[in-house]
């Protein structure tokens, strides 16, 4: 057989420091923002409290956004109805917690954790099933039509919000966290809420697990390849539609999980909470780069940290801090920090 192609060993060029930093810049933004926060806030204890709070908020936003970015990347679907899964997840999870009051009201770590786990599982099952139905009934007829996707998924969001009112009533529901998740631990003079620490750890574990699935398993490879070139994945023999449905269901379940966590964080839930969160979720998906789980993770941490720091330093600016962040990132990288999907 002819083998005329050159079989040379690769030669690696020495990249300049600026080039290397440029590549890693999205990753460096989080520590840079943390350092900026430290220098601006002055007080170590306040900075520590705000940083943990920002990281916790970021992790929860990431959990809600991760499914949405993959759904967009894989099938070019803009799903404004994603917020409904957040609300439904919160209502189902919190209802489960209220029903398990005998477990949450006693200072037993085992019972408290079991109650939260039961709430999370219930929320994820219901929102996963809801996601499956939503994809079949609402999203499937409008593949490839962005305007129709926006209209019909916003319609789905409104319908589901109203159904929440029908089932749970129109009033907001207040709740208290399980006994062992109440209160704070003191570290370096800073009071850090236990629940926020738990949210940080949980979010981190979930991100690592998601990365492992995406990088180390064949289904992860199919998802990553599908985000880049779905047609070619199908030409290799994989049914991308099935993969997409799986990702849609998983993304919906994760949104439900995020809803439970957000409800426990705020200690109040409303039917409109998902819709309100969608603004932050979309900012995270856009600045992270469409289709990128890593980008969404970094984007979520930036959004969480910045909102907390700015709210402390200049409360009036907190409302626009995330829009300003999005504007700055898009001026720097118009396709987001780590785009996977080519502009369509």
- Residues near other proteins (CB under 8 A) are 1-10, 218, 221-222, 224-225, 228-229, 231-240, 340
Angle at 308 between CA 272 and CA 322, to 5 degrees: 65
The smaller minimum CB distance to other proteins, of residues 114 and 228, is found at 228
CB 265 to other proteins: min, Å: 34
Query: How far apart (Å, rounded) are the C-alpha atoms in residues 238 and 305?
Result: 40
Token duo for residue 341: 């999907």
According to DSSP, the residues that pair with 184 across neighbouring strands are 193
CB 294 to other proteins: min, Å: 11
According to DSSP, the residues that pair with 193 across neighbouring strands are 184
CA 178 from chain center: how many Å?
A: 24
According to DSSP, the residues that pair with 185 across neighbouring strands are 192
CB 25 to other proteins: min, Å: 18
Question: Cβ distance 88 to 315 under 8 Å?
Answer: no
Give the closest residue to 173 by CA, choosing from 266, 63, 257, 103: 266
How many CA atoms does the CB half-sphere of 120 hold within 13 Å? Answer: 14
Angle at 195 between CA 189 and CA 197, to 5 degrees: 60
CB 11 to other proteins: min, Å: 11
The smaller minimum CB distance to other proteins, of residues 58 and 73, is found at 73
CB 171 to other proteins: min, Å: 48
The smaller minimum CB distance to other proteins, of residues 25 and 185, is found at 25
The smaller minimum CB distance to other proteins, of residues 12 and 16, is found at 12
According to DSSP, the residues that pair with 269 across neighbouring strands are 173
Q: How many CB atoms lie within 10 A of CB 146?
A: 12
CB 310 to other proteins: min, Å: 34
Q: What is the DSSP letter of 138?
A: I
E-assigned strands of the chain? 173-174, 184-187, 190-193, 268-269
The smaller minimum CB distance to other proteins, of residues 190 and 290, is found at 290
The smaller minimum CB distance to other proteins, of residues 237 and 315, is found at 237
The smaller minimum CB distance to other proteins, of residues 8 and 344, is found at 8
CB 291 to other proteins: min, Å: 10
């Amino acid at each position: 057989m002819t083998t005329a192609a050159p079989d040379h060993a690769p030669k690696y060029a020495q990249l300049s420091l600026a080039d290397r930093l440029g590549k890693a810049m999205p990753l460096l933004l989080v520590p840079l923002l943390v350092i900026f926060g430290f220098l601006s806030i002055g007080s170590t204890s306040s900075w520590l409290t705000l940083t943990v709070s920002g990281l916790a908020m970021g992790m929860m936003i990431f959990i809600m956004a991760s499914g949405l970015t993959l759904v967009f990347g894989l099938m070019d679907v803009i799903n404004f109805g994603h917020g409904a899964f957040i609300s439904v997840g919160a209502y189902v999870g919190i209802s489960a917690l209220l029903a398990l009051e005998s477990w949450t009201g006693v200072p037993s770590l085992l019972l408290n954790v079991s109650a939260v786990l039961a709430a999370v599982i219930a929320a994820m099952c219901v929102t996963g099933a809801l996601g499956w139905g939503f994809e079949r009934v609402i999203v499937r007829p409008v593949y490839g039509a962005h305007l129709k996707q926006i209209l019909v998924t916003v319609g789905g969001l409104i319908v589901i919000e109203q159904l929440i009112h029908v089932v749970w009533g129109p009033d907001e529901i207040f709740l208290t966290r399980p006994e062992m998740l109440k209160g704070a631990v003191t570290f370096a003079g800073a009071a850090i809420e236990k629940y926020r620490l738990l949210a940080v750890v949980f979010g981190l574990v979930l991100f690592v697990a998601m990365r492992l699935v995406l990088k180390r398993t064949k289904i992860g490879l199919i998802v990553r390849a599908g985000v880049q070139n779905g047609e070619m994945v199908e030409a290799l023999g994989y049914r991308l539609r099935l993969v997409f449905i799986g990702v849609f269901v998983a993304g919906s379940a994760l949104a439900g999980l995020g809803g439970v966590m957000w409800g426990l964080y705020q200690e109040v839930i409303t039917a409109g909470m998902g819709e309100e969160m969608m603004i932050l979720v979309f900012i995270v998906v856009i600045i992270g780069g469409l289709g990128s789980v890593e980008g969404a993770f970094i984007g979520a941490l930036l959004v969480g940290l910045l909102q907390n720091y700015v709210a402390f330093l200049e409360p009036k600016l907190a409302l626009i801090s995330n829009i300003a962040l999005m504007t700055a990132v898009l001026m720097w990288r118009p396709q987001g920090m780590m785009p996977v999907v080519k502009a369509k």
